[in-house]
Chains A and B, each alone.
Chain A
Amino acid sequence: MGSFNLFLQDRLIFELLYTALILFFTLSIYVKASRFYSLSSHKGFRFFGNAFLSFAVAYAIRFAIGLVEGAPYAWILSILAVLMSIAFFYTICLFGFYLVYSLVWKEQKTREYILHVAALAIAILSVLFGSEFMFVSQLAVLAYASVVSYDNYLKDRRKIQQLYFIAMVLGFAGFLANSLLPIISEVYPPFVIYVYAITVSIFLIIFYCVTGRWLKEND
């Protein structure tokens, strides 16, 4: 409980570090994928990169929401908080949709704007009726992504494919833990730290998978 008390005392600093870490991992992945896209025009790179860019934007918004919520109450801030919540849910949903689309775009040629329309619809429903809409949709897409990435792993059985599959399963577990956070933290407050640890682990694994070869290449 000692570390949890420290977390509560310095919550803002902790949130800032946590957000900075997520932004570093996700934006590094995005930069790598978009470099490859600009060189090859292979759409898979673009969809993959867009997924992580969306997550980075979502986490930047999440941090800003935390600041607005902490500010003295004013109607303009509450309107801002609602708009920011829609933007947060929208970008989080885009992350899942783009991630799955990067895996299936060759077989299922959906028009890209449909991903945005679906994400926006879920975001509005989540703000109006509760975040369950976002969680259910993202659990479904991450379960699907886990199956597809496992199938991909079975083809070549490479280490990176295995790690990516693990990251997808952790992603599913992370969204599940996030959805249960309000209930579990009632009885066990430090649970929030585990959720943060899972989230960081997911992006650390994917960051390693994406940049590992590049680091070796520059040795």
Chain B
Amino acid sequence: MAKRERLEVICDILRVIRDSNNRIKPTRLLYASNLSPQMFKEYIEELTAKGFVGQSESQGRKTFSLSDKGFEFLKKYREMMEFIRDFGL
């Protein structure tokens, strides 16, 4: 399997969250994202810092959900990938 590009990994993580009714536990997201724990931690930190993903806690359980910016990224993802491919970026 070819190595996923950085944007593809981000898109996969965001899609998993969105497709889980926009609420997912960290362990489930880690398995579904198909990343090593270290890589997963780095990506989640980046996505949280950028405001794509928000964390919330209820009854002592942490969950991730998409912000409006995260939804916007998914909406624009295909267009961005086409732009990268067409202009060789």
Pick the residue among B50, B80, B85 that contacts A36 (CB under 8 A): B80
Could you mark each residue 22-61 of chain A with 1 if its beta carbon is under 8 Å from any beta carbon of chain B, else 0? Answer: 0000000000010010011110110110000000000000
Segment from B31-39, B56-64, B71-79 that makes contact with A: B71-79
User: B6's closest neighbor in chain A, by CB?
Assistant: A42
Q: Are B86 and A148 in contact (CB under 8 A)?
A: no
Interface Cβ pair total, 8 Å cutoff: 58
Q: Are B80 and A156 in contact (CB under 8 A)?
A: no
Q: Are A36 and B76 in contact (CB under 8 A)?
A: yes
| A102-B89, A213-B79, A217-B79 known; A42-B50 Cβ under 8 A | no
Q: Are B73 and A148 in contact (CB under 8 A)?
A: no
Inter-chain CA distance A210–B69, complex, in Å, is 22
Task: Please count how many residues in chain A sit with their CB below 8 Å of the partner chain's CB atoms.
Answer: 25
Pick the residue among A39, A41, A152 that contacts B88 (CB under 8 A): A152
- CB-defined contacts of B87 to chain A, threshold 8 Å: 44, 48, 102-103, 152, 160, 164, 209
User: A164's closest neighbor in chain B, by CB?
Assistant: B87
Question: A178 contacts the other chain (Cβ, under 8 Å)?
Answer: no
Report B's interface with A, CB cutoff 8 A. Answer: 6-7, 10, 50, 69, 72-73, 76, 79-80, 82-89
